[in-house]
Structure 1
Amino acid sequence: MAILRYACVALSLTAGCLADMLSARLIEELARVQMKPGEVLPMVAEARKLDKSQWTATADSFQSGNPPSAAIDGSTSTFWHSQYNPNLPLPHNITIDMQQVMNINGLVLTPRQDGTSNGNIGQHTVQVSTDNKVWTTVSYGTFLDDSEVKTVPFVTTPARWLRILAATEAGNRGTWTSIADIGVTTGTLTTGSPAAIGSWGPTVEFPITLVSGAVIGSTGQLLTWSSFLPNQFTGSSTGQTFTSTYDPSTKLVTQYVISNTGHDMFCTGLSLDNQGGPIVTGGNSAPDTSRYNGGSKTWALQANMNIARGYQAHVTLSDGRVFTVGGSWSGGQGGKNGEVYDPVANKWTLLPGCPVAPMLTADAGGVYRADNHGWLFAWKNNYVFQAGPSVAMNWYGISGTGSQASAGSRTGDTDAMCGDAVMYDAVAGNILAVGGSSSYSNVPATTNAHIITIGTPPTAAKVTTVASMQYARAFANGVVLPNGQVFIVGGQSTPVPFSDDTAQFTPELWDPTTQKFTAMAPQAAARVYHSIALLMPDATVFSGGGGLCGNCATNHRDGQFFSPPYLFTSSGARATRPVISAISATTVKVGTSFSVTTGSAATQFSIIRYASTTHTVNTDQRRIPLTPTAISGTKYTLTLPSDPGVVVPGQYMVFAMNSNGVPSVAKTILVTN
């Protein structure tokens, strides 16, 4: 592996060499979970073992010889096909009567397997009913145009009837719909009030495996991507990236292939610039830098890094530059010292005073793993605080040629690779650090939780041990909420890439007041290696993805939105939300004031920076609580902190909360220097 990696760098990462390197890397990872490349794990086959002999199926139409009953006969050599002679327009639907009410939690859909793609379903909706009258949507989205089995997990729901509505044909070849086989999986109903444990919404299906994601403030859309293929990162990379966007206003998932940059954006560094657009570095295309323009929705290739990298972290600074360090997953091993990018000059500059050595973990995989996924936070006086995953913490000064100083260690913790660190109160300098494991894989994760408080750099950080999580986790994601609580979702008790074994389905909510974790409603799918989670402007959390290992059952091309308890009344009904009816400015300078008018009384305000994430790393998100300094009716004056190291310039969500702690839907502001 090491010889292949160094050779590829020497040969400027030629396609054939890269293919060998990536294939070897995936085989190495899969060997650890005793799974062969392309192997489909048993859970798909198990769904088909339910007795379907008494089931019946009806459809809006069918072609002679391809009746709806062919979709439930247990054979993939037969299939239902909507009428095409004469042709009928979309949408089409098929309804399954399972003859009894069951608690079901998933659909297993097999497209036609005869080598023809006509009728592959694209945009779709899955609904269930107990009486064939009232229908509940449990999943929607867009399927990839291929013959792979589609496994669609959803919240366990009582149902007798299941209905699939196809809005488009995946390849836009015609107005047809076809299905070879339909199966369902069963589960156990979740008990507990949403006011206590929150609630998961329908599953959203994507045509890619979600490995990276960002919320774009200018559109409110969720932007996601995988690699040069939608379901794997190995093979002869063509320098393209499969991406998908989810639009909350239309609930449509749209696929794009980004090829103009020549950048395969898998396993990259990632952060949002001071205008809210993602800057993506390295990964499969180890030296590359790409930048996304949220206004034009286009990608552009930028200057190459001086050091080729993959699995590095980077963070946007208070002056708009981007600092990165680490990243031995690709581009050679070791020596991945710090450098800084100036997006105005489009130039990377090495920082010899910012060595990577002080932040290395003692990973069993050596430096290949030891410099991965740094926990980086932009801070005051042009410093970056490195909180982990090494137990050693550091200050990196980004002025001049750079500097480094110890910030102490997380007393009571271990190295915490693929753990989480979330700045839940930037005004106080407070960061919650949780979980992780001492090596990247095959080592038990911890339940450890600490509060890290940072002040004026380069003084040592204060570390306080708090009550542990209920579940050990690595490969989880942490998301700060408008009220300062932190939602921890997914992960494994023993991290193993491309495996769903030991997955933690039950998320936890940490309260900064009690400093304790509370178990939340379990999610429908495992969210482990290569999963993402992000706060949305409506104060819900999107959790999705995982996998990217080819034709394997641990590819998760789906996600769900979690509604935290603060969105419900004590009876479990949806709470009435405060509304921000007006905001005085959409661009606000650091240290200045702006006004917010609400439709009813508000008692708390906060702003949260829009965020991006990959491989558990989210260096963008930070919450800044704001206290009204002048009040006139329901018009409030809010003043931003004066230090751009605290309120790092960029796009922010503005939330108002009422006396019950219910948050509004956010308004967006751009914070500038």
Structure 2
Amino acid sequence: MQKIYHILSNLNWLAVLCAVHMPVLAQFNYAVYDGTYDTLPDFNAAGMEPIATGQSNVIDVSVTSQTETFALVFERDITISASGEYIFSARSDDGSKIYIDNTVVVDNDGLHGATTVTGSINLTPGNYALRVEFFEKYGGEVLEVGYRTDNPDFQPIPPDGVLSHAFVAKSDVGEWGAVIQWPHIAITAANLPDGRVLSWSSTETNAFPSGGPEFTHASVFDPQSETFTNVDNNFHDMFCAGISSLENGVILASGGNPDDSRATAFDPATLSWIPRAEMLDRRWYGANITLPNGRVFSTFAKSAGNRSEMYDPATNSWSATPNANMQTLVDEQNGINSAPSGTPGVLGQEWWSHIAVAPQGDVFQGGPTQSWHRFDPIGGSVNVELGQPIGDTARMYGNAVTYDIGKVLLVGGADRRSDPPTSVNNVYRVDLNGASPVVTQGAPMNFPRALSNTVTLPNGEVLVIGGNTVAKIFNDEGSVLPAEIYSPANNSWRIVDSLSVPRNYHSTALLLKDGRVLSAGGGACGGCSANHLDGQIFSPPYLFNPDGSLATRPTLGNTPVQVEAGDEIIVPASSDTVAFTMVRLSGTSHHLNTDQRFLPVTSIDNADGTYTLTFPANPNVLLLGNYWLFALNANGTPSLGQTLQVIRNDIAIPPSQNGDVYLSDMSWLSEANGWGPAERDFSNGEELANDGGPLVLNGTTYAKGIGAHAYSEISLDLAGQYQRFKADIGLDDSRDGLCGEIRFEVDVDGVNQFASSSFIDTTPTQSIDLNVTAANTLTLKVLDGNGATCGDHADWADARLTPVSSPGFRYYRFTPVKLRDGSLADSVQLAELALQADGNRLLSALVVNPGGNSPATATPSQADDNNVNTKWRDYNKGALVYDYNANTVIDGYNFSTANNAPERDPVRWLLEGSKDAVNW
């Protein structure tokens, strides 16, 4: 059996593959025993006599020809030359133990498949008695024993018994913490805005039986206290559901076991699960991704055929996206899975698409099947086929991560069609910033890996954890324990500290708010040895000084709660700060994390203890949702993360004074366009999405609208929710003095309600205002006016719908007018503000504090969490705004003051309602 070793030389790791042991004097004494055991026997008991003895220079099963019902004991003295911690490892099938001077250091006893267990002991210079015990009952027989010190990987115990101690700085390799027992296998995990982690398994803690109750074991983990809060879902089995992190921090799980159409949202404020609208299709093993407009695109999935769909959190509704057809993925996956494999347990392809939002606003797909695409769920354009940029290669259960603006890293994976299927160490860098993706091969990883997890770090590097070399699921064979870090700047990899527990299929990993990394889970195969109901936290090298002490972090003061793309803010930070970065909070399952992205933030040192930050202006880059903002020093050490919510007011709050909704912000049932896609908020550019200029009619520039080209036809679902359609129409000013002649038509429920005369470059702008009350479908058409399609650039400028009015208000604003003692109060605070309807408290609002300055422990949501022991506090003494996402009637309210600092209590206030958050 081949083994991988690592030798330290001048603090540079050299990977050495050793297939043949060096000829040395046999030093291990061994004894072979015959017998059928369920646990290790007492080898000193009366009647226990070996059937064979001898000496060997290795500790493994090769010393005997028996393959069933036997036991082995290896003994020799070992010599320790340097004091320190020594970590021993035993991988065995069945049971094994390692003793040092009669002390059990590794206990891997019992009947099980190939399982790795580690243990550590502090030793001082001297000689010690080593004893390794092993038994095999039936089935496979495996025994691998090794040790390590500070070096990341285990090495065999040398035949001469002299154990070296490699001193490696934690500032070079980091450090994994102790193994943390978990209440279930963390098959899916997601960041919460307060720094905690949500995780879940299925109807059982270690398995996923189908056909059982609709239930999921779930918990919230606090990385600081290493404690758990139970949050089981009692109405939805979310095993292998798609996962997305929404704009407001809510976690959406859609689909699940078996082939489910349910969708569920987890509210971090109340730690509760909320049923959401069912999907149009049943979906299992399907990838989700959050789009620039806050909606969620649900792609290729089991039982959904070639169909995709999109979820709108604002309306709690799903709509089909027939233009984003998945047929090529279906065909290629079927071809991969039909390939014969003589390797038991080899992985099969299971639907999860490697996707990322591109700077143009569409969705890039780069695997795991051979052919790549661009999908346009928002714009409605047909798929762009990218061919097979890396050849006829599948990357099953590799990773994909957005590691910089418009840049995606593809790592590892396996191709079932290989014989035998093995993992690869391939790396591809994909640049999406141009008109077409540019793919270059990156430096290969040190280890081939499939079923690994990849995490973006605050310093812009990428951490890869776990996986195995043999491309097997529900199996720890070939597990890669050393993690490794990729530097995009240098296109290089370095090996860092080793996991204590293998992390393979159904494992997860996430960045934490303090810059550490959580790795957890694996298995879910009932009683199999690959089940891991535990987790481990990695402290990256940037958290240590060369002497092993903790590095001093930069400090980052309170930041605004919300920003938008292109915003500038001023933040206080320590003088050692040299850069700022942000990482989006995300969720992961099945080795895929589509919402994770790292972004650099431009900064200016104001030389007064503050820095001016400028956020990326492209909303397709700075996606909606929660991020952790970090300050970094010259060593790359990050501050503690500050939670920052990225919003888009043009989506969350319609800018029109009467609550109108722009057609460019809505889902379209269908779209056909003469040249290129129909554009949202741009004029037509004839080729790609967003390649046109601004919408301009007769010198007036419009921020919102649709740019089209004859012949164009766009249909929208009104669902009887709107009463007026309004727009300004004409030939875009980009055609002034040039060719172009067009006509406009509007159909309502299939009946023509408007037809214009011809427009040329000198035709005045025309305004239309149509009654669409109770209508279900609106269709906008642009026709050629003169028999030629030269330059037929049509603008539906300011195209919008006025909703049917409903009672109540969407927004309620509580404004403190006077505090109990405003001269002493440094802030306003209250414990609860409860809005009521029919005597019942309403607890479904998104609560924000516009322009406020709230500490992380007293956020606006805590004013509406039904817990008088928490509170909201604002140093700017501003207002609370409750957003119910739809007009809502309230008929009463009450509030509770906080339990300290009475000078901060409101004693006079104003409560107002608004339908649009503009007019109160």
TM-score under structure 2 normalisation?
Answer: 0.52
Q: Distance in 2 between matches of 1:530 and 1:632?
A: 48
Residue aligning to 2:756:
none
Q: Distance in 2 between matches of 1:523 and 1:50?
A: 32
Residue 223 (structure 2) aligned to one of 226, 245, 248: 248
Residue aligning to 2:294:
320
Q: Distance in 1 between matches of 2:263 and 2:44?
A: 52
Residue aligning to 1:310:
284
Residue aligning to 2:160:
none
Matched, 1:239 2:199: no
Matched, 1:540 2:510: no
Q: How many Å apart are 1:250 and its aligned residue?
A: 2.1
Q: How many Å apart are 1:604 and its aligned residue?
A: 1.1
Residue 387 (structure 1) aligned to one of 341, 349, 366: 366
Q: Distance in 1 between matches of 2:633 and 2:571?
A: 14
Residue 271 (structure 1) aligned to one of 221, 244, 251: 244
Matched, 1:354 2:331: no
Query: Highest Rg: 1 or 2?
Result: 2
Matched, 1:342 2:312: yes
Three-state SS of the structure 2 residue aligned to 1:388 is: coil
Distance 1:611 1:107, change over 3 A: farther
Residue 431 (structure 2) aligned to one of 453, 456, 465: 453
Residue aligning to 1:414:
393
Residue aligning to 2:336:
364
Equivalent position amino acid for 1:438 in 2: D
Deviations 1:488-518 (A, max 9, x none): 1111112211111111111111011210111
Q: Distance in 2 between matches of 1:614 and 1:648?
A: 20
Residue 253 (structure 2) aligned to one of 264, 280, 283: 280
The farther-off stretch of 596-605 and 202-211 is 596-605
Residue aligning to 2:590:
615
Tell me the percent identity: 31
Matched, 1:525 2:486: no
Matched, 1:565 2:541: yes
Deviations 1:240-294 (A, max 9, x none): 00012211232212333210xx210001111111112211111205111111111
- Cα RMSD (Å): 3.1
Gaps of 5+ in 2: 1-36, 46-83, 92-100, 107-111, 125-144, 152-167, 340-346, 649-920
Residue 625 (structure 1) aligned to one of 592, 600, 603: 600
Deviations 1:198-242 (A, max 9, x none): 11111111110110001101x211111000111110154210000
Asked whether the 8 Å contact 1:382–1:398 carries over to 2, the reply is: no
Asked whether the 8 Å contact 1:601–1:634 carries over to 2, the reply is: no
Asked whether the 8 Å contact 2:525–2:531 carries over to 1, the reply is: yes
Q: Distance in 1 between matches of 2:218 and 2:169?
A: 36
Distance 1:356 1:579, change over 3 A: same
Residue aligning to 1:432:
409
Asked whether the 8 Å contact 1:197–1:519 carries over to 2, the reply is: yes
Q: Distance in 1 between matches of 2:417 and 2:177?
A: 32
Residue aligning to 1:443:
421
Q: Distance in 2 between matches of 1:103 and 1:661?
A: 30
Matched, 1:399 2:363: no
Distance 1:396 1:658, change over 3 A: same
Deviations 1:570-606 (A, max 9, x none): 23322111111232x1111111112221133200110
Q: Distance in 2 between matches of 1:413 and 1:226?
A: 34
Residue aligning to 2:581:
606
List aligned pairs for 1:481-492, cutoff 5 A.
481-492=457-468
Q: How many Å apart are 1:634 and its aligned residue?
A: 2.7
Deviations 1:82-141 (A, max 9, x none): xxxxxxxxxxxxxxxxxxx99456899xxxxxxxxxxxxxxxxxxxxx9x9xxxxx9xxx
Q: Distance in 2 between matches of 1:487 and 1:560?
A: 14
Equivalent position amino acid for 1:634 in 2: G
Equivalent position amino acid for 2:416 in 1: S
Equivalent position amino acid for 2:372 in 1: M
Q: Distance in 2 between matches of 1:354 and 1:235?
A: 30
The farther-off stretch of 548-557 and 375-384 is 375-384
Q: Distance in 2 between matches of 1:103 and 1:481?
A: 29
Q: Distance in 1 between matches of 2:551 and 2:349?
A: 46
Asked whether the 8 Å contact 2:403–2:456 carries over to 1, the reply is: yes
Distance 1:400 1:196, change over 3 A: closer
Residue aligning to 1:42:
none
Residue aligning to 2:617:
642
Q: Distance in 1 between matches of 2:636 and 2:389?
A: 32
Residue aligning to 2:148:
188
Q: Distance in 2 between matches of 1:604 and 1:237?
A: 51
Equivalent position amino acid for 1:621 in 2: Q
Distance 1:272 1:446, change over 3 A: same
Q: Distance in 1 between matches of 2:417 and 2:501?
A: 22
TM-score under structure 1 normalisation?
Answer: 0.71
List aligned pairs for 1:63-212, cutoff 5 A.
103=86, 156-158=120-122, 187-191=147-151, 192-212=168-188
Asked whether the 8 Å contact 1:418–1:440 carries over to 2, the reply is: no
Three-state SS of the structure 1 residue aligned to 2:603 is: coil
Gaps of 5+ in 1: 1-44, 54-100, 109-129, 133-137, 139-147, 161-184
Q: Distance in 1 between matches of 2:395 and 2:90?
A: 36
Equivalent position amino acid for 1:432 in 2: L
Q: How many Å apart are 1:336 and its aligned residue?
A: 3.5
Distance 1:189 1:52, change over 3 A: farther
Distance 1:651 1:443, change over 3 A: same
Distance 1:487 1:157, change over 3 A: farther
Q: Distance in 1 between matches of 2:326 and 2:44?
A: 58
Q: Distance in 2 between matches of 1:407 and 1:312?
A: 21
Three-state SS of the structure 2 residue aligned to 1:652 is: strand
Q: Distance in 1 between matches of 2:515 and 2:569?
A: 21
Q: Bigger relative contact order, structure 1 or 2, given CA contacts below 8 A and separation 6+?
A: 1
Q: Distance in 2 between matches of 1:472 and 1:152?
A: 19
Distance 1:52 1:106, change over 3 A: farther
Distance 1:228 1:625, change over 3 A: same
Three-state SS of the structure 2 residue aligned to 1:241 is: coil
Number of aligned residue pairs: 511
Q: Distance in 2 between matches of 1:440 and 1:244?
A: 38
Asked whether the 8 Å contact 2:359–2:432 carries over to 1, the reply is: no
Matched, 1:658 2:633: yes
Equivalent position amino acid for 1:504 in 2: V
